[in-house]
Every structure is written in structure tokens, then in C-alpha cells.
Amino acid sequence: MTPAIKVVETIAEMKRVRHELVGTVGFVPTMGYLHEGHLSLAKQAKKENPSVVVSIFVNPTQFGPREDLASYPRDMERDLALLEKEKADIVFAPSATGMYSTRFDSWVEVGEVSHRLEGASRPTHFRGVTTVCAKLFNIVEPTRAYFGQKDAQQALVIRKMVSDLNMNLEIVTLPTVREPDGLAMSSRNVYLKPEERKAATVLYQSLTLAQQMWSRGEKNAGRIRQEMISLIKKQPLAEIDYVSVADAETLEELVEVRPPALVSLAVKIGKPRLIDNVVLE
Ligand code: AMP
């Protein structure tokens, strides 16, 4: 029996296969080691388009020199089985050398909004993300590309790139999928040791606290940040990178909350660095 899902490993073949597709194409870029968060994007893409392409590519240019590129979890066989179930049509899994020749030296960089929050902590991260997404969009030529709100700043940065550079696709952002205890699903959660996994619930607890304060009428962004920080500091395994209450479009830090505001945070729990966010509407 021929497998229903087609695995494509070269850019040339992806372009050839793309031109055989009829109707709209939904595209889900991922780094693999898939979980329900990724699959929710593939599901929605399948609802909205006759053809769905999912890319699995651990993109080296978005990792900093001291980050976890080499140890990033990978399991292609399992990923393919999960995507078969979602009825994805094509998996594009190029090699790093296929995507970046030794003479590769062209970059796509979004300004201000990519330099805040994650961009401040990981200075070359978004340049890597926007460059690989621009390449993938040129190769796959999707009608729509699907991103998770889990990486809220990434979705914003990609939207800005697509709008500023007049790219010919629609960006769809879908809600964060969580574990029953609130922890946002992430491929990096596998790094968490059992006691760290328990401690990691503090991220969502602090975001929930922010939401409760806001719904009770708190408008002072500083007080919301402070309460979140105090809660996280009670967890000895947690080390805060940032806690932010910012304008949801510009990501400028707010003094007074004006909705929609993005409450986001990055916290190290042991080795893994986790991020999460909610929007105050
Ligand atoms: P990654 O494989 O981490 O690059 O993620 C690929 C896509 O899946 C990105 O658009 C992420 O925002 C999205 N994603 C990751 N985790 C989740 C989640 N828990 N819920 C929804 N989307 C997610």
C-alpha cells in the first residue's frame, strides 16, 4: 500500500509537487516533534484547504550559539504517523544544507517589533525565523500559513513581514493548546524533569493571575507585572527572563493596560526556557 502522505526532501521536488496541487494550499511550518498544538494547526488547515503541506525543519539560523540546536528533540517516524491521521498531504523535510548553501548570505529582518521581548533575549532569533519563513513561503507558495498564538511575537513578526513585503498569502493565528494543568504544549517540555514539570505550571498560573486582576478592574500594568513576578518567585526552580504587559500590536510596555494587551513571559525551569502568553481583551 502506498502511504497517503508524501514526504519531500528537496526544494526542487517541493516546487514540482506544489505545481501539481489544485485549489488552495494550507501550510504549517514546524520544527517537528509534533504535539496537539501543531496538530490543531494541521487540522484547521485541512478544514480550510484541499491540500495541506507541513514542513518539518529544525532551522539552525534561529538558534543562538549557546542554544539547544543539537539536542532539539526529533522523531520523524512518529511525526509522519501523526500527520497521516490529520490527512496532511505533503511533509516537506529539507536538510539544513539543502536550505542553506555554504554561500548563503541573504536575510529578511523585521524592525522594532522583532527586537523586543524574545528578540531582546535572543538577538538573532527572529532574523532566522523570518528568513526561513520567507524561504518556505517562496518554496511552498501557500494560500494560507498557520501559526500558534503560543509564539505570539513570532506570529506578529511574520504578519508584519508578509504585510510589509507584500507577500502573497494569508497568515492565520490559532489559540494555544494546553495540557490539562494549563502548561502550554511545547516540544521542549520533554526536557523537563518530573519536579520541573510540576514547577512549570507556574507560568500559566501567573498568566491566569494577570487575567483575574484585569477582570477585577486592575489597570495598572506595573502592579500586574509585580504580582506575577512575586508568584513566580515562590517557585524555587523558576528563573525569570522577562514578564511583560505590552501593547498587543507594537509590544511596547504599558503603564496603564489598554486592551488588547499581550501579557507574556519567558521563564527558565531548570535548563529549559519556556514561554507563554495571554491576551487581555
Ligand atoms: P515549532 O515547532 O515550535 O516551531 O512550532 C510550530 C508552530 O506550532 C508554531 O506556529 C507554533 O506557534 C505552533 N505551536 C507550538 N506550540 C503550540 C501550542 N501549544 N498551541 C498552539 N500552537 C502551537
Q: Determine the atom of ligand 1 nearest the C-alpha atom of 31.
A: 2
Q: For 118-132, give one letter per residue: b (16+ CB within 10 A) or e.
A: bbeebebbbbbbbbb
CA geometry: angle 32, 186, 249, nearest 5 deg: 105
Q: Determine the atom of ligand 1 nearest the C-alpha atom of 185.
A: 19
Q: Determine the atom of ligand 1 nearest the C-alpha atom of 149.
A: 12
Nearest CA to ligand 1 atom 10: 147
Q: Which residues contact 46 (CB under 8 A, 6 or more apart)?
A: 26, 52, 86, 87, 88
What is the per-residue pLDDT across 261-278, written as a single tens digit (0 to 9) for each?
A: 999 999 999 999 999 999
Q: Which of 35, 38, 115, 125 is catalytic?
A: 38
Q: How far apart are the CA of 35 and the centre of ligand 1, in A?
A: 9
Is pLDDT of 2 > 70? no
Strand partners, 126: none
HSE-CB of 212 using CA atoms within 13 angstroms: 8
**Residue 210 confidence (pLDDT):** 98
Q: Which residue of 151, 173, 276 sits with most ligand 1 atoms within 8 Å of its CB, as the best mutation to test the pocket?
A: 151
Q: Coil, strand or helix: which one is 93?
A: coil
**Residue 4 confidence (pLDDT):** 84
* Contact by Cβ (8 Å): 67, 133: no
Is pLDDT of 196 > 60? yes
Q: How far apart are the CA of 151 and the centre of ligand 1, in A?
A: 7
Q: How far apart are the CA of 1 and the centre of ligand 1, in A?
A: 32
Q: How far apart are the CA of 145 and the centre of ligand 1, in A?
A: 12
Q: How far apart are the CA of 34 and the centre of ligand 1, in A?
A: 9
**Residue 12 confidence (pLDDT):** 98
Is pLDDT of 158 > 90? yes
Share of the chain above pLDDT 70, in %: 99
Of the candidates 79, 74, 101, the one whose C-alpha atom is nearest the C-alpha of residue 28 is 79
Residue 115 annotated among the catalytic residues of the structure:
no
What is the per-residue pLDDT across 3-51, written as a single tens digit (0 to 9) for each?
A: 589 999 999 999 999 999 999 999 999 999 999 999 999 999 999 999 9
Residues near ligand 1 (Cβ within 6 A): 30-31, 37-38, 40-41, 147-148, 150-151, 176-177, 184-187
Dihedral sign computed on CA atoms, order 96, 102, 103, 108: positive
What's the predicted TM-score (pTM) here? 0.98
**Residue 209 confidence (pLDDT):** 98
Q: Determine the atom of ligand 1 nearest the C-alpha atom of 151.
A: 12
Cα separation of 161 and 37, whole Å? Answer: 23
What is the per-residue pLDDT across 211-232, written as a single tens digit (0 to 9) for each?
A: 999 999 999 999 999 999 999 9
Nearest CA to ligand 1 atom 19: 185
* Contact by Cβ (8 Å): 206, 231: yes
Question: What cell was used for 55?
Answer: 514542513
Strand residue runs (E) in the chain: 6-8, 25-30, 51-56, 90-92, 144-148, 170-174, 238-247, 261-269, 273-280
Q: Which residue of 41, 56, 63, 83 sits with most ligand 1 atoms within 8 Å of its CB, as the best mutation to test the pocket?
A: 41
Question: What cell was used for 139?
Answer: 518554496
What is the per-residue pLDDT across 52-86, written as a single tens digit (0 to 9) for each?
A: 999 999 999 999 999 999 999 999 999 999 999 99
